[in-house]
Structure 1
Amino acid sequence: MSIASVLSRLPAPRTENAVELDAGRWVRWLQDHLDPAWRPAEWRPECWLFTGSVQEPHSSVSLCRTAVCDTVVSPANIFCPFCKEGQKKSSLSAAEFARTFVPLRNRVAFGGVPEQCRFTKDGQRCVRPRHCKELCATHYTQWKTHTTRKTAGRWEDTAVPYADTPACPASACPLPGLYGRGLCRHHAQRFREHRRIHPDADVAAWAAQQPPYLAPHQFSLLPLPEPLRWEVLYGLQQVDPWLRIFEPPQVRRMVRDLAGTSTLIGDITDQQMCPRSTVAVLRMLSRVRTAVRAGHAQHTGTAPAQDDVLDLRALGQRSRTPAGIRQSKTVDLRTIRQPWLRGLLRTWTIQQRPGADEFARTLRGVELASRALAQRPATDDPARLRYDDVTAVVDAFRTALKLDGEPAGWNYRMSIASHFFALIDYGRRSGTADTLSAAFVRDPANHRISEEETNEDEIGKAIPEPVIRQLDAHIHLLGHGRARGQRTLAPDDLQLIYRTLYILLRDTGRRPLEICSLPRDCLETRNDQICLLWNNHKARRHRRRLPITTPTAQAIRTWKERREQLQSSLPPTGADYLFPALTHLATRPYLPTNYLGETLRDWADSIPHLHSEGTDTHGNPLPFDRSLIYAYAFRHSYAQRHADAGTPLDVLRELMDHKSVSTTQRYYTVSLKRKRDAVTKLAAHVVDNHGHPRPSSETAYELRSVAVPYGGCTEPSNVKAAGGSCPIRFQCAGCGFYRPDPSYLPAIEQHINELRADRETALAMDAAEFVITAFTAQITAFEQVTDRMQRRLAALPSAERQEIEEASTALRKARAGSTHTLLPLTPLSRTDPA
């Protein structure tokens, strides 16, 4: 579709030359809105030529991958055609071939320095480049003619050396004009083809419209007619900030496929405009057309931001994703039923130009609020809104669902609520919503979205230790296959960096961002204790210290030594980080966390077998859900490992760097199912104070489970007082109501050691005999209980014994996380009333 047919639809009055005048104005508008400083090292506006530079990090241009080859190629990190042929014939790997291959060329590549013609006469040598037989094209032709026709004399007698090399008349063509009509070889052949159709064509006029001979890293807009040439240039300048990397070959193919097109403005699809284009070219064309259409709408006064359909790209909205703007590219605001709310969102978007995440959450909040307000009367008039309307909106946020229909998390619901009310505050501050009722305001007391109590120790968040041992056994697969960074690091280096990252995740329990952003000097030794220096970005607490083991520190040192050797090949922006960014295009100076996450997922998928802790009905191990293996899960595993090992609560809180102890305490909370299973197993192994079996029901076990620190208690008054009213002050071994089970063995053994220490102290103090006798009797009684329980456990099958041990661990963990405070073992001092 031509620009004339598009512009003819505008309602403005027209004259006979209105189309031409509008086209001229459109071109002038494009010229006025072009950036004259756009890529000055690469774009030559006088000849419409773009030459990608290897010094520009945002252009997909580099030297040939072969170390000693200086040929410019695009895209980056590939072999030039000559080296590619050699690599196909070689048995070496691509990395080894690139390091050792030395190309021996029989012709000069584009951009190289050609050798001179060898013809010399009267001491003057021909300066033109060699073509064949060590002669330039002219002298070679003279020699060949003389040899073929076998003329008398020598051809050198009539030949003269040339003191200059004529340039090809085509604009910016780098090849010498040594062929017919003063053209280079490339343009001479093309002109011959042109003359077959236009026999009277003038070579000078034809050459002025021809693009130069293009290398892979170049493109020219000369073949395009006006105004298409200006439209493409404007569109490229507009989309350049959206692109992660600029690829000249894609633009060159787009220019080729636009042959026969007069304008990018029209209703036809990209596929109809360029039916033979590849997906990559169509993607580039779509971006350019979007920018050009937005510019034309601005030129004609019908910019999309003035309508109810917002073009996010036209508003310059960007996203953190490498591909640029997220889908969708346009947003239909007509789904918002209240005109005042729709206008407020449109004005805020145009004036504030929010990012993709901020806009998406604000839009979601506005949509939910619009749906809730639509069910209430008089909400189309902002002046008639009431306090109850705000309540209805907040209720909609409380029950919000994700786009897939699943219940939204508390953080997401809080986020959309905050973004919505921030939009309302913006409307009042800016005067956009000056008629909005003063009663439509959020009440901090009644309009809160309460945080739901979540159990961070749900089964599946912490990777079980048996699964981690299986991962350790397959650590040699980490970094092989699909791993981010293959174009930058050699396979061995890639494996080393990801193996180090995995070890740190497993052994330190830090968050993925805290691991990826570790400083270069992250090890500190104090009093023979090695500490990891890290930054808590979430809580904004920096220079934290975490004790680590020697093997973990050695893994860091191994990678650090290799990192020093790779320093010259890594981007300088990451010089201060242990794991620097691998490309110059990275938005952050350290390794992105998504690189780590994607590589871990690919590694988990590549492991042949991963078994969970349970078995099926046939006794075969169940497969482990690999989706539960992700970077953050190792933090849960670290905390769970310490909680199961009995690490004191305050110590684990310091290790995890939690602000609140309640957060740490969740790791000591056992799920009801695990606790119920543990009670079922241990209720059958309860003994009395003499070590004789006293099995009980699950209900009775639960009634005693909070009674005393060294076992269960069935004494009625003590059970009623929740373990705080023991008549004999926890001398459990001499009590007939005492009911221990195997989960109390560690506590009983520790108490036996304490009693022995107290007995030695009493002996040193020359205490009375009955004191020593009491200590000895307690020790003997407790030892009798532990000996009999251990003998019974030893007689059980190994599988059952393992189940009891796991159940005991679960119940010990449950008791450690309990907020119940037991009666102190030492008597409290009393003051008698006067």
Structure 2
Amino acid sequence: MMIRAAQTALRRLNTTPETERVKDVWDMAVFGHAGSLPFTPVVQEPLREAMKIWVYDDLPRRRNKNAVHHARAVISAMALLSESLWLQRPDRGMAPSAWGRGDIIAFTNRMGYLTATGKLSAARRLAFTRFVRRVLLRFRTLGLAGPGQVLAGMPVDFAILPEDMPDEPEDTEAGRDLPEEVMRQLCAHLDDLEAMSNVETRVATELLIDTGRRPDEIFTLGYDCLQQDPDGSPVLAYDNHKAYRLGRRLPIGGETAETVRRQQQRVRARFPTTEPARLKLLPRPKTNPEGTKTFKDIHTPHRAWVDALPDFLIPVATIEADTPVTHMVPFDKKKIFPYAYRHCYAQRHADAGVAPDVLKELMDHRLITTTQGYYRVGAERRREAVDRVTALQFDRNGQRVWRTAKSLLDSEHVRRAIGEVATAYGVCREPSNVAAGGHACPLRFRCLGCEHFSTDVSYLPDLEAHLADLLYSRERLMSAFEADDWARAQAMPAEEEIRRVRRLIERVRTDLDDLTPEDRAQIEQAITVVRRTRTVMLGMPRVGQPVPDLRPPRNLL
């Protein structure tokens, strides 16, 4: 080991970023990061050289430890573009001046094929397409397509356009929390985890469950991480390495604070001579004489512990012979991993009614949309949101649907469950169409002329998009589009339909404008919930702000 370390140090002795950037595999220590960065997956030399320039330009903008991980992900995306060029073009894509719109179409089709065959997830397809779009645009702003540059002659149409982007995938990632029955069993068997591994593994797991922090944020906790707010409430001080946000503070419950205090006592007893400021709360068990090296590997012992536990049985409701029946089925243990506890933390707080802005701060996210991917909207919150948007409901003529409030809301909830089917910009309650799942519309989907159609304020973006589509179709048919008169007349959007859509939009906007700012804010939040379930703004609370102690109970079995 010492010899290898000496060889590495000698190799890096005269290495600089300027000399490293010309290589096909970079030693990222030269740039202040760990690991290596290979560009070899990008086959075409011009594209590979352009990627080196892009990464060299992008690295200084990413100051956290995930900079290399991000660069690898972007290179992987560009490698798929490189592979598509290699497979689709006669010249294997070696000449940038020959690239064109056809190559972009071939690439997007290949991405769709990889997703359809299960080789690429829908979320990764979207992320990789975004990477390619951003990188190709950056190539141009860096001047790499100019004369004498590495991508000289690259056509303007060799770019990912907005319409080339795949749709947002179904929200399958939200709510990767563990069922309550599973969490109870895990908490009841924490003693087994300590027996199989060590006390640091158990404490790390308890803190992951209780605080919802990322694993590396727990591993790097300092000995003095337990602090207090001015009112004496316990606070966990940690560093958000992912977002390069240091000195973060998270309110925690009394039992979690006691877990930290017990671990502090163990660490102090083990390393009595080391200065507290240098100690780690979870020191590495071996090769760590002063307690200053951080505990890192929890995934391996955690997986062994989970696999050794009995099956986790959870109730699943089914219908047998028109009778509801509940079966206890095994839960997939592969879904139990350390990062899942972060989703559990978000879900517990969302279910407890923690305000969206508070939960965003608790999760320490910059954007609310990030937080929204960590939890599912529960039935009670969906009902409350439906109650709000139903109060702004309109029929096909743009008239407010005024009925007795209670009967209106109750009927709306029933219809959402069994008596309606969604259309592009509202809901249909025509019985035969509902029974056919929306595929048997007697009016051939001319919803604006049907008494069974209604819409509400949550459909406003869809109505606006439908109006734009109608106007575009009308203009296109009125232009040089060649067709027989009868076909053109059948395809032409009716002026009455355009007028009714406009009237609906104006009516909805008018009612929104009449609301007070407070009421409008509540309606907009309800719209977000309703549209997501056909996300909660959850980041750091103010010092001293009370947060419910939602620590899962221990030893309930």
Range into which the TM-score falls when normalised by the shorter chain: 0.5 to 0.7
Distance in 1 of aligned mates of 2:99 and 2:24: 33
* Matched AA of 1:603: W
Provide the residue aligned with 1:565 in structure 2.
269
Aligned pairs (5 A) from 1:572-587: 575-582=278-285
Q: Of the candidates 388, 391, 395, which is equivalent to residue 104 of structure 2?
A: 391
Shift of 1:405: 2.1
Q: Tell me how far 1:555 sits from its aligned partner.
A: 0.3
Any idea what the Cα deviations from partners look like across 1:280-328, whole Å, max 9, x if unmatched? xxxxxxxxxxx9xxxxxxxxxxxxxx9xxx996xx87999xxxx989xx
Q: Within 5 Å, which residues of 2 pair with 1:403-442? A: 405-407=119-121, 409=124, 410-415=126-131, 428=144, 433-434=149-150, 436-439=152-155
2:386 pairs with 698, 706, 727, which one? Answer: 706
Contact 1:383 1:437 in 2 (8 A): yes
Instruction: Specify whether residues 502 and 339 from structure 1 end up closer, same or farther in structure 2 by C-alpha distance, changes over 3 A only.
Output: closer
In the alignment, structure 1 residue 475 sits paired with structure 2 residue 193:
no
CA distance in 2, matches of 1:317, 1:506: 34
TM-score by length of 1: 0.37
One-letter code of the match for 1:550?
G
State the secondary structure of the residue aligned to 2:235: strand
Aligned counterpart in structure 2 of residue 818 of structure 1, from 518, 529, 538: 529
Partner of 1:597: 299
Equivalence map 1:188-267=2 (5 Å) = 240-241=7-8
- 8 Å CA contact 2:103–2:158 kept in 1: the answer is yes
Q: 1:639, CA displacement in angstroms?
A: 1.3
Matched residue count: 388
Q: Distance in 2 between matches of 1:345 and 1:550?
A: 51
CA distance 1:640–1:369, change in 2 (3 Å): same
Find the partner of 1:544 among 248, 252, 255. Answer: 248
CA contact (8 A) 1:317 1:325 kept: yes
Counterpart Cα distance in 2 of 1:357 and 1:708: 41
Shift of residue 533, structure 1, vs aligned partner: 1.8
Whether the 8 Å CA contact 1:382–1:436 is kept in 2: the answer is: no
Could you tell me how far 1:449 is from its partner in structure 2?
4.8
CA shift in 2, pair 1:598/1:724, >3 Å: farther
Larger Rg: 1
Q: What residue in structure 1 maps to residue 334 of structure 2?
A: 627
The residue type paired with residue 529 of structure 2 is S
SS in 2 for 1:590: coil
More helix by share: 2
**Aligned with 1:463 (options 178, 201, 218):** 178
Is contact 1:615–1:622 with CA below 8 Å preserved after alignment? no
Match of 1:521, SS state, is coil
* Counterpart selection for 2:362 from 644, 647, 655: 655
Aligned residue runs from structure 1 range 65-464, under 5 A:
240-241=7-8, 336=43, 340-341=46-47, 358=71, 362=75, 365-366=78-79, 368-372=81-85, 375-376=88-89, 382=95, 384-385=97-98, 388=101, 391-392=104-105, 395=108, 399=112, 401=114, 405-407=119-121, 409=124, 410-415=126-131, 428=144, 433-434=149-150, 436-439=152-155, 446=162, 449=165, 452-453=168-169, 455=171, 458=174, 461-464=176-179
Alpha-carbon deviation of 1:590? Answer: 2.6
Equivalent in 476, 483, 506 of residue 209 of structure 2? 506
Q: Does 1:553 align with 2:274?
A: no
1:427 offset after TM fit, Å? 9.6
For 1:630, give the aligned amino acid.
F
Measured after TM superposition, the shift of residue 444 of structure 1 is 7.8
In 1: Cα distance, 2:360 partner to 2:48 partner: 47
Which of residues 610, 614, 629 is equivalent to 2:312? Answer: 610
User: Counterparts of 1:389 and 1:509 in 2: how far apart (Å)?
Assistant: 46
Mark the CA change 1:589 to 1:428 in structure 2 (over 3 Å): closer, same or farther: farther
Identity of aligned residues (%): 24
Offset at 1:727? 6.6
Instruction: Measure how far apart 1:636 and its partner are.
Output: 0.9
Confirm or deny: 8 A CA contact 1:311 1:330 kept in the other structure.
yes
Change (3 A) 1:725 1:667: farther
Contact in 2 for aligned 1:391/1:447 (Cα 8 Å): no
Cα distance in structure 2, aligned partners of 1:416 and 1:568: 54
Structure 2 SS opposite 1:580 = coil
Question: Aligned equivalents of 1:721 and 1:666: distance in 2?
Answer: 37
Task: Report the equivalent of 2:200.
Answer: 497
Q: Distance in 1 between matches of 2:393 and 2:45?
A: 69
Within 2, Cα distance between the matches of 1:577 and 1:667? 29
Aligned partners of 1:441, 1:573: CA distance in 2, in Å?
Answer: 60
Secondary structure of the residue aligned to 1:455 is coil
Q: Could you tell me how far apart the structure 2 residues matched to 1:722 and 1:651 are?
A: 38
Q: Do the aligned partners of residues 659 and 237 (structure 1) sit closer, same or farther apart at CA in structure 2, a change above 3 Å counting? A: closer
Does the Cα contact within 8 Å between 1:506 and 1:634 map onto a contact in 2? Answer: yes
Task: Give the CA deviation at 1:512.
Answer: 1.5
Q: Are residues 574 and 406 of structure 1, via their aligned partners in 2, closer, same or farther at CA, if it must alter by over 3 Å?
A: farther
Give me the whole-angstrom Cα distance separating, in 2, the residues matched to 1:718 and 1:707: 14
Question: Residue type matched to 1:368 in 2?
Answer: L
- Could you tell me how far apart the structure 2 residues matched to 1:583 and 1:646 are? 43
1:521-540 → structure 2 map (5 Å cutoff):
521-526=224-229, 527-540=231-244
TM-score, length basis structure 2: 0.53
User: For residues 332 and 738 of structure 1, what CA distance do their matches in structure 2 show?
Assistant: 57
Give the secondary-structure state (helix, strand or coil) at the position aligned to 2:341.
helix
User: Given residue 259 of structure 2, which amino acid in structure 1 is its aligned partner?
Assistant: A
Partners in 1 of 2:41 and 2:364 — Cα distance? 45
| Deviation by residue 1:214-237 (Cα, 9 ceiling, x = unmatched) | xxxxxxxxxxxxxxxxxxxxxx76
> Aligned equivalents of 2:101 and 2:72: distance in 1?
26
Distance 1:649 1:355 in 2: 32
Residues 147 and 153, structure 2, Cα contact 8 Å, conserved in 1: no
For structure 1, which runs of at least 5 residues remain unmatched after alignment?
Answer: 1-57, 60-235, 243-290, 292-305, 484-493, 679-700, 744-813, 821-834
Measure how far apart 1:660 and its partner are.
Answer: 3.1
Shift of 1:558: 0.4
Per-residue deviation, 1:345: 7.8
Q: CA deviation at 1:436?
A: 1.6
CA distances 1:727-749 after superposition (whole Å, capped 9, x unpaired): 77x5x5xxx76749999xxxxxx
Displacement after TM superposition at 1:445 (Å): 6.0
Aligned mates of 1:444, 1:375 — CA distance in 2: 17
Any conservation in 2 of the 1:397–1:417 contact (CA below 8 Å)?
Answer: no
3-state SS of paired residue (1:515): helix
| Contact preservation (8 Å) 1:707, 1:719 | no
After superposition, residues 29-44 of structure 1 pair within 5 angstroms as none
Alignment check: 8 A CA contact 2:226 2:236 kept: yes
Residue 621 of structure 1 deviates from its aligned partner by 2.5
- 1:133-168 per-residue CA deviation (whole Å, 9 max, x = no partner) reads xxxxxxxxxxxxxxxxxxxxxxxxxxxxxxxxxxxx
Q: Aligned ranges for residues 22-33 of structure 1 at < 5 Å?
A: none
Shift of 1:454: 5.2
Distance 1:343 1:668, change over 3 A: closer
The answer as to whether partners of 1:421 and 1:442 remain within 8 angstroms in 2 is no
1:641 corresponds in structure 2 to 348
Unaligned runs of 5+ in 2: 12-21, 56-66, 415-524, 532-557
The alpha-carbon distance between structure 1 residues 415 and 562, as it changes in their structure 2 partners (threshold 3 A), is farther
Q: Distance in 1 between matches of 2:294 and 2:92?
A: 50
Q: Is the 8 A contact 2:208 2:338 kept in 1?
A: yes
Query: Structure 1's 580 and 726: CA in aligned 2 closer, same or farther, altered over 3 A?
Result: farther
Query: What secondary structure does 1:612 align onto?
Result: strand
Instruction: Give the distance between the partners of 2:54 and 2:350, measured in 1 at CA.
Output: 49
Q: Letter of the aligned partner of 1:706 in structure 2?
A: V
